[in-house]
Each structure stands twice: as structure tokens, then as C-alpha cells.
């Protein structure tokens, strides 16, 4: 864990409110810094700030520092923190919210490849209605580091050898209906 | 027992061996799965990271389609299970979200009233079929086989969203035992180890490979040091990470793991004496080891 000093100069007083108004974020104000989340998190050791510390930063209004951290990008959505939180904060959902804000406001740094992965996934699902793993991985690698294509060729061949690599896209019939649902949801976005 | 089946994208692709074993054993267990027509991706963890309402909306389309059949929706994938279940929970808990989801579904000619019950196929097999029936169907007792149950994370975590272990929720979020009981019903020995619900890294394997491989290494090491011949899992992503990446894990950490990672339906299939090919066992990246084969032949 990196314990460097926070860089942000001005406090963002609205940040806590912003998070607390998201579905799942209501109870963030109740965090009493017990650290159960950090102790349970499988990836806390690589985070700039552990989840506990991040919540302190959210409450104190360190919006820039929070969004510039790698913490939420390392969240694997395993939900163990959410299950164990004695204050019933939906921590995983707060991490999702931070990812969304970061993507929207372009806080995504190249080394945090998760953003590229997620948006490739969404593009494919919006087009076909279903995910298509080979295309997802190729798109992601092209977006982040094309040498990954070579580095992962063996893995791809291994899957192909065992008949586990689909060649054809799997599309749903009601793609227009699905898109209408997505469009409507987009216009109503929370 | 008839259910609406929601396979999810993975079992139609890299986890086809899961589907093959499900096709093989469910009729023998008296389970009838009718695939939900024209289902779409649940959104997984990726969609929720980009758009919230849209993510809930595409997930809700499946629940709306399933509601017409008035049966439980059953999925073999932990991520699909969690996402669909969470959609139900949020649909019930947040009136504003419910209203907007209703409007979005309407744009696609659908409506949803929140009545589709979401279940994981492990839950159906453990609770609806039951241990007694399974033990009675076993043709080949897997005596001497040490099996480490790996639940992974998402199958046991909706506990929180469902508020309590009931028919719909699978088990305890920290120390689940339903698959342990299933392993014992096949005559195998259930390996006790501490990593059974520790995350495998899931989709971090795509983006932060080394970190995900570290998590996999710890799971494999714990299972191995407790004497496991194989690991049994219930999630396509866990199986992929622990099986297909196992040789890469070995290269990165200098380990020598050679632990087959199979689906729980493949284990049931072995105990019901189904042929390995029918169960998709030939598709494993880490093949069944000699000790494992000897135990299976001797059984």
C-alpha cells in the first residue's frame, strides 16, 4: 500500500453527497473506519489506498485523490467487503460508482486497463445482445497493448485445441428491442 | 421438476464443458431445463462498471422474459446468478429505479413485476433433488478421491442481497457447505481448506493478469497442501482462471501445480458413471492425473 500524502488542495464538500445519493451508497456516512473491508479484500495489497482509507477520503471530500487512485479498478466484485461490513455499506456498489464516474470524466489511465476491457464488453453486448469472448479479448488487447496478442497466442491456441474457443458470434434475435431498452435507460440514466 | 434455463454467455463458449456435463446429468437427476428464448447477456461485472441503469435494464429483460413462464430461472454461472438476483433486489428496494426500469422495458415491449425467482443450478441440485436421491443414484462411489470444493465468490455473496439463507440463497457467504455435502454424497472425500470462497481474480485476469494469477496461486497451493486430487467448482470464470491459466501460474511463480479443476456437474457425472467424453472432461487444460484416473478406475 502506498501511504503517500494526498495531493488535492481544495476539499470537495459535495463529494460525499454525490456518492451517498447513488443506489447502494446511502450508508457511506455510517462508515466508522473499522477496516473489515480492507482486511477482507483480496486485492487490497496492490491498491494505492485500502478501501477503509478510501472511504475516509470520500467522506473528507478528497474527490481528485479518490478518482486518481487505482483502488476501485482493482475491485474484482467479489462482494466479501459488502457481506462483512458491520455498517451495511454496499461497498462493491460504491466501487462500481467510482468506476463509472472515472470513465465518464476520463480519469482512466492507460495502466488501468479495466476501463478498456469494460467498454469493449459493453460495445459487443450492445451490438449482439451477448458477449463474444474472443472478440472481447482481441479488442481489449488492441486498445491497450497489441503485443499482448502475441503473448496470449499460446493460451488462445490451447483453448482452440480443446474446442473451447467459439468462432461464430452469438447474436440474439430481438436486437432492436434490446437496443430500444438500452436507449430508453440511457436517456433516463440515474 | 421443470425450470427456465438461463445459460449465460460463457457456457455457450469457453465453458462448453460445463454445459456438456449439465446436459448429461440433469435428465438423470430428474431436472428439466427449458432454455429461456432469446435471452441476452446479464451484463456481468463489466456493464455495471460503465452504466448503471442500462446494466440493470438489460439484466431485467431476462427476468421479464422469464416471468411469462412462471417458473424459477436457473443459471449455472455465478456472475449471471449474482447480477440477475441483484437486479431483483434493487428492483424491489428502489422505487425510483423500478419506475425507470419499467419504462425502459416498455420501450422494448416488455413488462416486469418482480416475480421471477433466481437460482443457481447448485442450489437446485442440492435442495430440490436432494442428497439422498443423489446418493441413491451413484453407480460408482468415488472412494479415495480427495476433492477440494471451490465456491469462489459470487455464488455465495447474494446472501446479503437476499437477507438470509433460504431456498433461493445458496449458503453461508463465508463458509458454505452445500457442495461439501454433494462431494460426500458421491463417496469422495471433501478436502477442508481455507480458500474455498476466496476470489480467483475473476476478470482481473484479463486486465491485471499478475495480480489475478497470484490469487489463483494461493487457491491452488492451499488445495494442494491439503491433499486435493482435484478442485471442483461451479463458476465458468473460476474454472477458466484455475484451469487454463494454471501452467502460466506455474511459470510465473515457479510452482508445479498439476491439479485438474472440474465442474461439480462433471463430478456428479463421474459418480453416475457417465463417459468422460460426454462430460466434456477431454476439454480440460489440466488433464485428469494418473492418481485420479486410478481412483476412478478402482471405484
Grid cell for residue B198: 476466496
Most A CBs within 10 A among B46, B57, B244, hence the mutation to make, goes to B46
Instruction: Report the distance separating Cα B56 and Cα B43, nearest Å.
Output: 8
Nearest-CA residue of chain A relative to B7? A130
Most A CBs within 10 A among B41, B59, B61, hence the mutation to make, goes to B41
Instruction: Report the distance separating Cα A24 and Cα B98, nearest Å.
Output: 14
In the predicted model, what is the mean pLDDT of chain B?
93
Instruction: Select from B114, B9, B7 the least CA-distant residue to B63.
Output: B114
pLDDT in tens, B241-294: 999 999 999 999 999 999 999 999 999 999 999 999 999 999 999 999 999 999
Instruction: Report the distance separating Cα A94 and Cα A99, nearest Å.
Output: 9
Q: Do A173 and B38 touch (CB under 8 A)?
A: yes
Contact status of B19 with chain A (Cβ, < 8 Å): no
Residues 6+ apart with CB under 8 A from B98: B91, B92, B114
Q: Do A23 and B52 touch (CB under 8 A)?
A: yes
Q: Do A186 and B45 touch (CB under 8 A)?
A: no
Contact status of B115 with chain A (Cβ, < 8 Å): no
Label residue A6 by pLDDT band (50, 70, 90). confident
The structural domains of chain B, with segments of one domain joined by +, span 2-120, 130-298
pLDDT in tens, B273-282: 999 999 999 9
Domains and CATH numbers, chain A: 15-104 (1.10.1060.10), 114-187 (no CATH)
Nearest-CA residue of chain B relative to A167? B13
Residues 6+ apart with CB under 8 A from A187: none
Residues 6+ apart with CB under 8 A from B50: A99, A100, A103, A118, A119, A122
Nearest-CA residue of chain B relative to A151? B248
β strands within chain B, DSSP E: 2-5, 32-35, 73-75, 118-120, 146-150, 189-190, 230-233, 261-263
pLDDT in tens, A140-168: 898 888 998 998 898 899 999 999 998 88
What 8-state DSSP symbol labels residue B146?
A: E
Do the domains B2-120 and B130-298 sit in the same CATH topology, yes or no? no
Contact B232, B148 (CB under 8 A): yes
Q: Please, which residues bridge with residue B119 across strands?
A: B74
Label residue B232 by pLDDT band (50, 70, 90). very high
Domain B130-298 matching CATH 3.40.50.620: the answer reads: no
Of B9, B106, B108, the CB nearest to A131: B9
Average pLDDT estimate for A35-45: 96
Distance from CA of B54 to the nearest CA of A (A): 5
pLDDT in tens, B111-168: 999 999 999 999 999 999 999 999 999 999 999 999 999 999 988 886 555 444 455 5
Of B40, B110, B207, the CB nearest to A130: B40
Average pLDDT estimate for A119-130: 93
Contact status of B164 with chain A (Cβ, < 8 Å): no
If you count them, how many residues does chain A have? 190
What is this model's ipTM?
0.91
**Fold of the domain built from segment(s) B2-120:** Glutathione S-transferase Yfyf (Class Pi); Chain A, domain 2 (1.20.1050)
Q: Do B198 and A42 touch (CB under 8 A)?
A: yes
Distance from CA of B284 to the nearest CA of A (A): 7
Grid cell for residue B96: 425510483
Q: Do A117 and B206 touch (CB under 8 A)?
A: yes
Residues 6+ apart with CB under 8 A from A107: A67, A68, A101
Parallel, antiparallel, or unpaired for β B261-263 and B146-150?
Answer: unpaired
Amino acid at each position: 500500500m502506498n501511504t503517500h500524502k494526498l495531493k488535492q488542495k481544495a476539499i470537495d464538500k459535495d463529494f460525499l453527497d454525490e456518492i451517498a445519493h447513488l443506489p447502494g451508497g446511502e450508508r457511506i456516512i455510517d462508515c466508522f473506519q473499522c477496516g473489515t473491508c480492507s482486511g477482507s479484500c483480496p486485492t487490497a495489497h496492490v491498491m494505492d489506498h485500502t478501501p477503509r482509507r478510501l472511504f475516509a477520503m470520500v467522506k473528507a471530500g478528497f474527490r481528485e485523490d479518490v478518482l486518481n487512485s487505482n483502488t476501485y479498478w482493482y475491485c474484482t466484485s467479489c462482494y466479501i467487503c459488502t457481506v462483512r461490513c458491520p455498517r451495511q455499506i454496499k461497498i462493491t456498489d460504491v466501487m462500481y460508482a467510482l468506476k463509472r464516474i472515472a470513465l465518464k470524466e476520463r480519469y482512466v489511465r492507460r495502466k488501468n486497463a479495466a476501463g478498456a476491457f469494460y467498454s469493449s464488453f459493453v460495445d459487443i453486448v450492445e451490438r449482439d445482445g451477448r458477449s463474444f469472448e474472443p472478440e472481447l479479448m482481441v479488442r481489449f488487447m488492441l486498445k491497450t497493448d497489441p503485443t499482448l496478442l502475441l503473448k496470449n497466442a499460446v493460451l488462445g491456441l490451447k483453448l482452440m485445441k480443446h474446442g473451447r474457443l467459439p468462432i461464430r458470434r452469438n447474436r440474439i434475435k430481438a436486437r432492436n428491442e434490446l437496443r430500444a431498452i438500452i436507449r430508453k435507460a440511457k436517456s433516463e440514466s440515474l | 421438476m421443470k425450470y427456465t434455463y438461463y445459460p449465460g454467455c460463457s457456457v455457450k463458449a469457453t465453458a462448453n464443458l460445463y454445459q456438456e456435463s449439465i446436459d448429461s446429468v440433469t435428465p438423470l437427476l430428474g431436472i428439466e431445463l427449458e432454455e429461456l428464448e432469446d435471452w441476452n447477456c446479464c451484463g456481468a461485472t463489466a456493464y455495471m462498471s460503465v452504466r448503471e441503469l442500462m446494466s440493470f435494464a438489460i439484466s431485467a429483460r431476462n427476468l421479464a422474459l422469464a416471468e411469462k413462464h412462471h417458473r424459477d430461472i436457473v443459471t449455472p454461472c455465478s456472475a449471471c446468478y449474482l447480477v440477475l438476483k441483484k437486479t431483483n433486489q434493487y428492483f424491489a428496494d428502489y422505487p425510483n429505479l423500478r419506475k425507470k426500469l419499467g419504462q425502459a422495458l416498455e420501450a422494448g415491449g416488455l413488462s416486469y413485476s418482480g416475480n421471477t425467482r433466481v437460482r443457481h443450478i447448485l442450489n437446485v441440485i442440492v435442495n430440490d433433488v436432494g442428497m439422498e436421491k443423489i446418493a441413491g443414484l451413484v453407480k460408482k462411489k468415488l472412494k479415495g478421491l480427495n476433492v477440494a470444493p471451490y465456491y469462489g465468490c459470487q455464488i455465495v455473496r447474494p446472501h446479503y442481497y437476499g437477507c438470509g439463507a433460504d431456498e433461493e440463497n445458496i449458503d453461508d457467504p463465508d463458509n458454505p457447505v452445500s457442495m461439501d455435502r454433494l462431494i460426500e454424497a458421491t463417496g469422495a472425500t471433501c478436502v477442508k481448506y481455507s480458500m474455498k470462497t476466496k476470489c480467483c481474480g475473476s476478470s482481473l485476469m484479463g486486465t491485471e493478469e499478475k495480480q489475478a494469477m497470484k490469487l489463483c496461486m494461493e487457491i491452488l497451493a492451499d488445495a494442494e497442501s491439503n491433499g486435493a486430487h482435484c478442485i471442483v467448482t461451479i463458476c465458468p470464470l473460476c474454472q477458466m482462471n484455475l484451469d487454463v491459466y494454471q501452467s502460466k501460474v506455474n511459470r510465473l511463480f515457479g510452482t508445479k501445480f498439476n491439479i485438474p479443476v472440474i465442474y461439480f456437474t462433471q463430478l456428479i457425472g463421474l459418480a453416475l458413471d457417465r463417459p468422460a467424453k460426454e462430460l466434456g472432461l477431454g476439454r480440460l487444460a489440466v488433464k485428469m492425473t494418473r492418481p485420479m484416473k486410478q481412483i476412478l478406475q478402482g471405484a
